[in-house]
Structure 1
């Protein structure tokens, strides 16, 4: 198979991020080529940059990062599947393989055989999509309605993560919601909860900037993460824990009303965590995990198109791909940024 090259953002190991040329495959009949417009920097991308690993997913070879991308089809799949040339698209970054391991078949995000763009969970690694041009199965592409700002559409993937988390809590109409951790996923959860009819949304964060963004997308008030007494007094029907820290989870448990629901979408480190689980027992809290998403990205696209999901303020910075290292540094500083995009 012949190859050409394209500019990409590649993690070679801890603190070793490079913008370099990588091979671009000729598409198979079922694959399309996409010219990437924007890519959103995710927490997992930051971990690969800083630590060379995300939990047990350890870099064993250089890997192209990125899974939150939008662009335009420049070569449609020759077998006739997928979007036509010239179509603006976003990407569903997961693919699934058959497995004999038991899991709910209607919840493929729980499959142990899933592959995710820009992941070192397997070897050879699954290359990511931070490149000027990418080749992907046409089935991974989602057509974007004409007129959608691609900068905002770059949030479709993380917004789907937030949508999945909020849906795990059930009907939010008339409910009081507490969101612990107001980074990009938390802010997007605020926006999704507002669209879902929550009557009150309290957003919590250590920093003023994320609280400001949360207010802009629908939070009715915000609290400093250090104000434990005020957080406990929220008495929320539903709590979305998106900080990914044991302190955040402790706040979530204390801030939930008796009989309430705590959705855990923030990914905590591996190993035991010191949290006040007794609160969950004595208050009969419902603790719910939330991992990635399934088809919620389609709901997000529809909501962006009809204007019912307002998430523009979540994007705070955009850097040309040549300035990727600076972009990653800004994205890693939650006190100054929300979602940081790379412009390809």
Structure 2
């Protein structure tokens, strides 16, 4: 195989993951050729693999997954000035248009023409970063020069940005009690973000002892195993409740846990047909907010990681070579053994 050919991981449909060669794309003046540093397998990647879809986004052509990744610069286009060959970079998977009404109002994550890497939300699909090499525009890259910050840590900037965006949507929380349902990667990132925002107490809820142990490492003050403690015992306890489990029972728990006048932020992707106790929102004057992807919070996440204001290293369970992508996906699907599984090059 010539040097112009590289290896890519593609999802062709439900439980159909293949490693296939692809030709390296051309390099434009403002483009950067990157080799994969580390790529985290996210919940949406697992949904594409396990179900062939994420919500309404269905795999309609072979999709290269992967939207949370770091890279190393291989070559740069003639007009590139932000990065140089050999540098480690954080990669923002969002590419908003910058011109629509949402972008102009500072809500680029809601861009009408968003191109989000590793997503079937558009067709042809936005191909992701689970590949040996790929080309991106320089504006999506942030150079990381700190020698002690690993490529695995840098790849966690995107999931941390989700937690930061959820907390940002909730509003000021200095001195408040925050409850987070779901202690997977995003739930733990929400715990870290709430800590950064000055929450006085952070409570994590999950069904898994392993996940709850990870939440404590992330900074949770206390944990609740939801199948051991009836929801009636954790009602009216939180100023802010963040739903990061993507499960109807977790949402119901958030609605009970939130104090009167409290805020609920939905981060998890819930089933499309879901009975909703809207009268609780009315009677308790709850504010119900959605949090979708992130915007400026990606830059905040990069800075928090490179300065070690947050330490994401405990969340990284394993790093497997791209050639073992199938094994890596199976491990990522097993919550009893993993939190964050990353793909790397051999």
Q: Is the pair's TM-score, using the shorter chain for normalization, greater than 0.5?
A: yes
Aligned residue runs from structure 1 range 22-171, under 5 A: 22-97=22-97, 105-147=105-147, 148-171=149-172
Deviations 1:223-276 (A, max 9, x none): 112233366346101111101121111111101111111111112122x31233
Conserved 8 A contact 2:175-2:199: yes
Aligned residue runs from structure 1 range 258-273, under 5 A: 258-270=260-272, 272-273=273-274
The residue that corresponds to 1:284 in the other structure is 285
1:104: how far off? 6.4
1:97: how far off? 2.9
Rounded Cα–Cα distance in structure 2 between residues aligned with 1:222 and 1:234: 16
Conserved 8 A contact 1:188-1:314: no
1:102: how far off? 6.6
1:311: how far off? 2.1
The residue that corresponds to 2:314 in the other structure is 313
Aligned-residue RMSD, C-alpha: 1.8
Secondary structure, in 3 states, of the residue corresponding to 2:47?
helix
TM-score, L = length of structure 1: 0.94
What runs of 5+ residues in structure 1 fail to find an aligned partner? none
Aligned residue runs from structure 1 range 134-213, under 5 A: 134-147=134-147, 148-213=149-214
Conserved 8 A contact 2:98-2:108: no
Rounded Cα–Cα distance in structure 2 between residues aligned with 1:75 and 1:8: 19
The residue that corresponds to 2:6 in the other structure is 6
Question: Greater CA deviation, 179-188 or 21-30?
Answer: 21-30
1:33: how far off? 0.5
Question: Greater CA deviation, 330-339 or 78-87?
Answer: 78-87
1:109: how far off? 0.7
1:103 and 1:280, CA in 2 relative to 1: closer, same or farther beyond 3 A?
A: farther
1:3 and 1:119, CA in 2 relative to 1: closer, same or farther beyond 3 A?
A: farther
The residue that corresponds to 1:343 in the other structure is 344
Secondary structure, in 3 states, of the residue corresponding to 2:170?
coil
Secondary structure, in 3 states, of the residue corresponding to 2:311?
coil
Secondary structure, in 3 states, of the residue corresponding to 1:163?
helix
Aligned residue runs from structure 1 range 295-306, under 5 A: 295-306=296-307
Rounded Cα–Cα distance in structure 2 between residues aligned with 1:234 and 1:342: 41
Secondary structure, in 3 states, of the residue corresponding to 2:79?
coil
1:254 to 253, 256, 260: 256
1:310: how far off? 2.1
Conserved 8 A contact 1:37-1:71: yes
Deviations 1:24-72 (A, max 9, x none): 1121111100111110001111111112111222122112111111121
Rounded Cα–Cα distance in structure 2 between residues aligned with 1:77 and 1:208: 49
What runs of 5+ residues in structure 2 fail to find an aligned partner? none
1:92 and 1:130, CA in 2 relative to 1: closer, same or farther beyond 3 A?
A: same
Paired residues, number: 342
Conserved 8 A contact 2:162-2:294: yes
The residue that corresponds to 1:19 in the other structure is 19
The residue that corresponds to 1:242 in the other structure is 244
